[in-house]
Chains A and B, each alone.
Chain A
Amino acid sequence: AESAGFGLGRPALEVEVAAWDIDIRPDGQGLPAGSGDVWTGEEVYVENCAMCHGDFGEAVGRWPVLAGGWDTLERQDPVKTIGSYWPYLSTVYDYINRAMPFGNAQSLEPDEIYAITAYLLYLNNIVEDDFELSNETFLDVEMPNADGFFPDDRADTELVAFSGEVCMERCKDSVEITMRAAVLDVTPDSEDGAATEAV
């Protein structure tokens, strides 16, 4: 179709689109040719990722946990990892490729990312240790929590229920304080040197 616009901008060259268009979709669209196995992945992972995410995806300090947490989503303290929570493998490849390692993004080659992804699948008990991931085997992998998501349903479950008349007078007989932030005392203040309360 003809541009109905203002004649602004210029055509994007194919090589320019290729340089920036790196996104991957669940159906595999965008995956580059390449492959990597679990044991190669362990080597690449230990060199590039383990200092923050731990040798086995268990995480160092407060950095994200990448493996484990199976069957914790209904618990009080769910552990949401690639294996326990993420619905699509494509997201693992895409995110490592675009944003990791933290501080040196977009530094890994496709084969390295396939290998790290294979190792993360192994750490999450999704594949055996002889598994090789490639753009051709990618769609064969089933993620455990693929069916764990549903579209926003607030329109049905909340919006109508939370609309309507409200009480203005004599709404209850008494009021009780059930929880206090001062008891927990985790708000930064001048003694932490991080922030000062105005009090």
Chain B
Amino acid sequence: MVIQVKGAKPSRRNFLKAAAAAPLAAAAGSRAFAQDADPAIVNKQPWNQYLGDGVDARPYGMPSKFESDVVRRDVPWLTADPVSSVNFTPLHELDGIITPNGLCFERHHAGIAEVDPAEHRLMINGLVDNPVVFTMEDLMRFPRENHVYFLECAANSGMEWAGAQLNGCQYTHGMIHNVMYTGVPLRLILAEAGVKTSGKWILPEGADASGMTRSIPMEKAMDDCLVAFKMNGEALRPEQGYPVRLVVPGWEGNMWVKWLRRIEVGDQPWHHREETSKYTDLLENGQARRFTWEMDAKSVITNPSPQAPITHGPGSTVLTGVAWSGRGSIPRVDVTIDGGMTWHQARMSGPSMDKSMHRFYYEFDWDGSPLLLQSRAHDSTGYVQPTKNMLRKVRGENSIYHNNGIQTWYVTEEGTAENVEIS
């Protein structure tokens, strides 16, 4: 493969970090006989000899202390303030499709509201026959459903519109999580109030100090939206809207109103701040798309990636990543290791559900030469994930939201990886 590197070299700091990871590579290769006995085998370890904690030591368990790097991270320069801001899911450390609750990225506009469920109410008003108020106890008496859905921030990968910027899939793709929600179909709750025939839109509103509101067409409200109170089996985390949030499958995360306290029914959209000033997509001609609700098919290779270099040297190598589509499921993902000259169909593993994450793998024998890795998702509508340049041709570079372009990682001979763009 011919890879020509243009532009300046990486900074010295990054080079040193890369070098530090390299020595491991020397030990790799084909299976070899050990010269000396492995102390991990021949020496007794403390956990072989001494007693561990009892069952009463960890009433709510946390990950092993050896996993302390697996955390949400933020990028302070992205926002004016950490209260109306975002952090990122560590996708490069996860596998399968379910995001652990404590690692689900956060996006708040006025911080984490700490709501007492006993004091929380959900009001339905507007164009309904019977304006109604529910307590949490009331909501728990409706029939429930369980669904696994991804929630992706409309701005996920938004910093990458003008080019490769942040080094790691946590930062470029980590405004997403995928959990099992338990909740009540919104249509059952609306039916309790009785939507008038003139009711064409809903306005969900949050109880936090941002008073988050979005206009959602009635067709979507009646289709698959949920009023959810559990995620992955337990109560919503406060940062995810405890005690109750709206679930809007396949649609941009901003619409999944947290700390849901009111839903108004109306005959036209409200054009509030989060659907005019924000979450509208400016194109090159100065005109902006509004109501860009669906999140299009997208994928990213999570390993190898800049935060997850290859440390084992040449030989058997596992490439893996995630793919998702707001318009359906992901029957197929293609991957390339040579920058798109040749593509291979990846192996999908795990459940395939509508508007949920899918896990893919591609196992290959790395010869130790540089790699240019990409993944390309196909969704169940036949749509194929475009390149960033295909998107820029239609939209320019200023639309901020909805960047689902193909991501490239450049893997060096040392196994380190970098976020790049290629021809």
Contacts and interface: CB of A to CB of B under 8 A. Distances in A.
Given A167-B343, A180-B7, A149 B289 contact: yes
B218 interface: no
B74 A195 contact: yes
Interface in A68-117: 73-74, 76, 78, 80, 82, 85-88, 90-91, 94-95, 98-99, 102-103, 105-106
B289 A5 contact: no
B14 A73 contact: no
Nearest to B400: A80
Interface of B: 1-11, 13-14, 17-18, 20-21, 69, 73-77, 79-81, 83-84, 92-93, 109-110, 123-126, 129-134, 138-139, 141-142, 163-168, 171, 188, 191-194, 203, 205, 209-211, 213, 261-262, 264, 266, 268, 270-273, 276-277, 280, 282, 284-294, 296, 306-309, 334, 338-344, 372, 376, 378, 381-386, 390, 394, 397-398, 410, 416, 418-423
B376 A157 contact: no
Contacts of A20: 123, 125, 205, 261-262
A176 interface: yes
A3 to B, nearest CB: 6
Contact of A186 (B77, B92, B293, B381): B77
A12 B343 contact: no
For the complex of A and B, the 8 pairs showing the least CB-CB separation, nearest first, are A175-B339, A182-B10, A98-B211, A62-B80, A181-B419, A73-B286, A5-B192, A12-B131
24 contacts: A3-B194, A6-B142, A62-B79, A78-B286, A80-B277, A86-B276, A86-B277, A94-B273, A95-B273, A98-B213, A105-B211, A152-B289, A163-B382, A166-B334, A175-B1, A175-B423, A176-B423, A180-B420, A182-B10, A185-B10, A187-B168, A194-B76, A196-B69, A198-B69
Interface of A: 1-6, 8-12, 16-17, 20-27, 52, 61-64, 73-74, 76, 78, 80, 82, 85-88, 90-91, 94-95, 98-99, 102-103, 105-106, 148-154, 157-159, 162-164, 166-188, 191-192, 194-199
A199 B418 contact: no
B422 A178 contact: yes
B307 A177 contact: no
A184 B418 CA distance: 12
B419 A99 contact: no
A87 B343 CA distance: 45
Given A76-B397, A198-B308, A102 B110 contact: yes
A65 B325 CA distance: 34
Contacts of B109: 99
Contacts of B290: 149-152
Contacts of A12: 123-125, 131-133
Q: Which of A153, A162, A167 has the most CB of B within 10 A?
A: A162
B18 A177 contact: no
A171 to B, nearest CB: 6
B258 to A, nearest CB: 14
A83 B203 CA distance: 25
Given A149-B287, A174-B423, A183-B11, 16 more contacts: A9-B124, A9-B133, A21-B264, A23-B205, A87-B271, A149-B288, A162-B390, A166-B343, A175-B338, A176-B6, A177-B4, A180-B7, A185-B13, A186-B77, A186-B165, A199-B416
A32 to B, nearest CB: 16
B125 A181 contact: no
Contacts, number: 314
Q: Which of A24, A151, A177, A183 has the most CB of B within 10 A?
A: A177
Main secondary structure of the interface of A (DSSP, over half): loop
Nearest to B5: A177
Contacts of B420: 177-181
Contact of B422 (A63, A103, A170, A176): A176
Nearest to A196: B69
B421 A177 contact: yes
A4 B194 contact: yes
A143 to B, nearest CB: 10
B373 to A, nearest CB: 12
Contacts of A82: 277
Contact of A21 (B93, B125, B284, B390): B125
Contacts of B9: 183
B382 to A, nearest CB: 4
Contacts of A154: 289, 292, 294, 296
A95 B272 contact: yes
B399 to A, nearest CB: 10
Contact of A181 (B166, B342, B382): B166
Given A1-B194, A164-B382, A199-B18, A187 B167 contact: yes
Q: Which of A87, A152, A157, A180 has the most CB of B within 10 A?
A: A180
A3 B130 contact: yes
B288 A148 contact: yes
A148 B286 contact: yes
B397 A182 contact: no
Contacts of A170: 341-342
B418 A180 contact: yes
Nearest to A198: B307
A27 B280 CA distance: 20
A188 B192 contact: no
